[in-house]
Structure 1
């Protein structure tokens, strides 16, 4: 655990080493994207949101921005880790040749660094929630419960993608557009109820759908998550993590030869 924490710190510090603003970029980057998406969807397309206690979408642009930011935090965590996953082992080839180094923790380090950025964004979000909505709901304490299954799911995916990326270098080019597609096919910019009734259940196949909806409910709307959906998602996430780890362990034997 000490090694993992040390590597996470080095990963975070190394990412901003030499830049004038340093860790401040972990805050500025999501805020910039928020401004762009808010202008496009909130101002130009005039998108609005319907909360659980409302019959119509009556939110202001500011309220819509906060709701949008909440979903973007979940996506940014997912995108940051998955986008780098195919090149994770290739980019740390020196560790592969060290027999005593447990390379299976590299995905854990990557997830830990992304989780730090998500935590920073969450703190900023809570400030916006208080300013725009007037209060922070008590259900925010459930945010880690909602986020935890996504962490497990992503970790399993990273183990698999990192391993595949060693043998199939084009995987990075394949993952990039898929991550973008995941953003626009997840309920970050739209609500599940905006889809046709027959299509709504299929939205849950998107790995971000349930975490985005649950995170938004507990952080902004003061509602509890869909516990049944979260339970199913947790089960699937556990299976994905187990299979991803097993795949990584079986394929790692050839890493040194390929690299």
Structure 2
């Protein structure tokens, strides 16, 4: 009970620092492009270049087809890939950047009296803002090239919420573990690389052989990517029951991740 009481107290204290979270997020986002000639234009160039590369490999070289009725044009296939890449980039970039966010700011741990959890929160929010440029391109491409129901685009904020919650939970966990396990970056890079190809980014979930579909149930990104495709590309509202279940699971995971952070942060000053 004492731990739960302390947990709730920490959350209340964190809410009081919402203005500071905004400032940290703004600073983190602006520092990404500080000193570069193109500035925030890189947020548009990077996803477009990667999309062009993947489209060339899978459409031109391998001549892949999506494998679903009505998805036969190159433009549609390209946007199908893009709708999987954007949520994956939010997830992977958040984890990668959170690994060193506490270690890289020792003054906030040892000298400045602020909640250290502000650091992974600001990194997560900054990453999401950065990826909103890619999301905007995806929505624009859908409106121009795909004549499906556009009204489902109003649901985009809702399908963005699950990946935000899951990414934030991971950010808490990996930012804390990164303080104690300096080899964590190598392990995370390997795991994310595996997850990249095991996620339905370049293929639909329905194309996975029946005997291997159980793997998708352990992939936290698979249902998110499917929801993104249904809402943005196909113009189909997501399944409400599935969305509710996923959000409940994601919320529990976020609470768990924050609990791990609170438990491990008491040793940050000694290790750093």
TM-score normalized by structure 1?
A: 0.93
| 1:229 to 1:204, Cα distance in 2 relative to 1, 3 A | farther
Q: 2:243 aligns to what?
A: 230
Query: Is contact 2:67–2:207 with CA below 8 Å preserved after alignment?
Result: no
Query: Is contact 1:126–1:136 with CA below 8 Å preserved after alignment?
Result: no
Q: Deviations over 1:197-245 (max 9, x none)?
A: 2322430311110111101110110001132322222122111111111
Distance in 1 between residues matched to 2:101 and 2:261, nearest whole Å: 12
> Do structure 1's residue 155 and structure 2's residue 168 form an aligned pair?
yes
User: What is the SS of the residue equivalent to 2:210?
Assistant: coil
TM-score normalized by structure 2?
A: 0.89
Deviation at 1:140, TM superposition (A): 1.1
Deviation at 1:136, TM superposition (A): 6.2
> Do structure 1's residue 104 and structure 2's residue 117 form an aligned pair?
yes
Match of 1:5 among 19, 22, 30: 22
Question: Aligned ranges for residues 1-259 of structure 1 at < 5 Å?
Answer: 1-51=18-68, 54=69, 58-134=71-147, 137-259=150-272
Distance in 1 between residues matched to 2:238 and 2:81, nearest whole Å: 18
Please list every run of at least 4 consecutive aligned residues from structure 1 whose deviation after the TM superposition is greater than 4 angstroms. none
| 1:255 to 1:83, Cα distance in 2 relative to 1, 3 A | same
Q: How many pairs does the alignment contain?
A: 255
Query: Is contact 2:230–2:237 with CA below 8 Å preserved after alignment?
Result: yes
| 1:141 to 1:58, Cα distance in 2 relative to 1, 3 A | closer
Distance in 1 between residues matched to 2:237 and 2:45, nearest whole Å: 30
User: What is the SS of the residue equivalent to 1:91?
Assistant: coil
Distance in 2 between residues matched to 1:118 and 1:85, nearest whole Å: 16
| 1:90 to 1:136, Cα distance in 2 relative to 1, 3 A | farther
User: What is the SS of the residue equivalent to 1:20?
Assistant: coil
Deviation at 1:175, TM superposition (A): 0.3
Query: Is contact 1:129–1:136 with CA below 8 Å preserved after alignment?
Result: no
Query: Is contact 1:43–1:61 with CA below 8 Å preserved after alignment?
Result: no
Larger mean Cα displacement after TM superposition, 92-101 or 1-10: 92-101
User: What is the SS of the residue equivalent to 2:105?
Assistant: helix
Distance in 1 between residues matched to 2:194 and 2:121, nearest whole Å: 25
Distance in 2 between residues matched to 1:22 and 1:135, nearest whole Å: 34
Distance in 2 between residues matched to 1:161 and 1:245, nearest whole Å: 11
Gaps (5+ residues) in structure 2?
Answer: 1-17
Q: 2:14 aligns to what?
A: none
